[in-house]
Structure 1
């Protein structure tokens, strides 16, 4: 499977004219040419190398330095994690779902669960919006979400730990971070109920009335205006009462004052959420 220069330019942000200029001046990349129309076609290896050059240039290297570094260090010579990441991105660019699955299989077989989740899958998920068009992002995020669901379901449930309900609020459909959080909490002995994406306040109220969880964690990924976030979070806090509500995600970072004013708390990671829980338990014990 190969890609045309127009597709490469769209996916990497490097103009077609720039790619042709690199080819003339640096002998890079080296596309094949079709016999009947002489169109440039780029192999998977060339796609990987172009993407690596683009990243190095974005990191501050000159074009010649970036090309020289990529040519001196082929993908096969990179550390395992980087090599797998490069293979993942090239397979996604080719829209080769089976190749993506093979990369994810290989990474999962070679990594401990939390390293695989937090050190491999989640960085890929966070970068997708910047790297991919809509079709490729949907395909890749769906495959990673499947992996995270599988990891979460495979973790043996435990009894006796605190109970947490996890959800994305209404109109927020990106649940990858929420799944990763659920996995980390479950591995630490928590009982996890996953409500998932686009959960309205009514569903939160029903779940909390039935389960009486100690905590509800909400993941805000989609950017919202302050008034919208205040409305959505206010409804959620009231729906979950008396459970403690902790908010996280990139869509919440710029609204900390609003979050605290509504009686919720903010956590950037699973460790911060656990620290908030321990702090709350300490206050209850002293009381």
Structure 2
């Protein structure tokens, strides 16, 4: 009897339906018991509509900040429509924090060796074991800061920096999928002209989208006139411009001041300062992008 005749889904079909990798689904099945497949006559695992519903429920909880192990407890404890229980975010000194340190070491080792499959495996396991916010705040952002420091000091090569950035960009782009389809307030995110580093801005957008915001992402080296045109077309609740070099902001300060008079503007990144923000009439987002996105997302 075929899978379609039994009404079950093979893991590839389930993966396509729920938008998660087969690796993640197998991990949720073996580690947490969220999926309960049956065997077909040919020996294939077949997943039911109930399995799909539990996966969708768990996916929502994980996107909301729960670690997969905690989300699984919620899913298995109640029906699909049940409200999630409140679970505090892990803090420094917990097992998750220790795990984060090991993840950074493993990720650095894989990326320095140009081993993309190993790096993807490290990220897969981290996202299976930890909440998304913890992976972004505790792994991705510190790794990027360390990579930038090593590149400036000459202990990481240009090739290593480019390779690592491209691997992480691809992964972050996957997490950003669908972030323009929300129903909350809209944010336009961009970098000033000449700024080519936007990975932390991607992190900010991913977390803000998890708080219901609609993201319009313009990315690196955006001409101010193009940014202004996008703002005019979308009427966002917030415009965020992120850069690593103060000179990138200064060279278009007058244009940004004009933009701030028409739409709420925030400056972010190492190149943004409190004095510059005051001069431009902008808000300063000072600190790691995950925390800042959570603060913005929590603002009524």
Unpaired segments of 5 or more residues in structure 2?
1-96, 151-155
Match of 1:266 in 2: 284
Aligned counterpart for 1:213 among listed residues 236, 241, 244: 236
In structure 1, how many angstroms separate the alpha carbons of the residues matched to 2:281 and 2:98?
45
In structure 2, how many angstroms separate the alpha carbons of the residues matched to 1:274 and 1:101?
26
Aligned structure 1 segments of 4 or more residues deviating by more than 4 angstroms: 269-279
Match of 1:115 in 2: 134
Which structure carries more relative contact order (alpha carbon 8 Å, separation 6+)?
Answer: 2
Deviation readout 1:71-123 (Å, 9 max, x if unpaired): xxxxxxx9432222212112222222222222122222222211122221111
Q: Say if 2:293 is the partner of 1:246.
A: no
Secondary structure of the 2:252 match is helix
In structure 2, how many angstroms separate the alpha carbons of the residues matched to 1:246 and 1:203?
17
In structure 2, how many angstroms separate the alpha carbons of the residues matched to 1:240 and 1:262?
7
Change (3 A) 1:163 1:237: farther
Match of 2:194 in 1: 171
Task: Please tell me whether the aligned partners of residues 249 and 271 of structure 2 are also in contact (alpha carbons under 8 angstroms).
Answer: no
Q: Say if 2:246 is the partner of 1:224.
A: yes
TM-score, normalisation: structure 1: 0.62
In structure 2, how many angstroms separate the alpha carbons of the residues matched to 1:206 and 1:179?
21
Task: Please tell me whether the aligned partners of residues 141 and 200 of structure 2 are also in contact (alpha carbons under 8 angstroms).
Answer: yes
Larger radius of gyration: 1
Q: Say if 2:175 is the partner of 1:151.
A: yes
Match of 2:204 in 1: 181
In structure 1, how many angstroms separate the alpha carbons of the residues matched to 2:139 and 2:265?
28
Unpaired segments of 5 or more residues in structure 1?
1-77, 282-287
Change (3 A) 1:112 1:202: same
TM-score, normalisation: structure 2: 0.59
In structure 2, how many angstroms separate the alpha carbons of the residues matched to 1:117 and 1:133?
24
Higher mean C-alpha displacement, 203-212 vs 148-157: 148-157
Task: Please tell me whether the aligned partners of residues 192 and 249 of structure 2 are also in contact (alpha carbons under 8 angstroms).
Answer: no
Secondary structure of the 1:153 match is coil
In structure 2, how many angstroms separate the alpha carbons of the residues matched to 1:243 and 1:235?
12
In structure 2, how many angstroms separate the alpha carbons of the residues matched to 1:202 and 1:193?
16
- Equivalent residues in 2 for 1:52-201 (5 A)? 79-131=98-150, 132-153=156-177, 157-159=181-183, 161-201=184-224
CA RMSD in angstroms comes to: 2.5
Structure with greater helix percent: 1
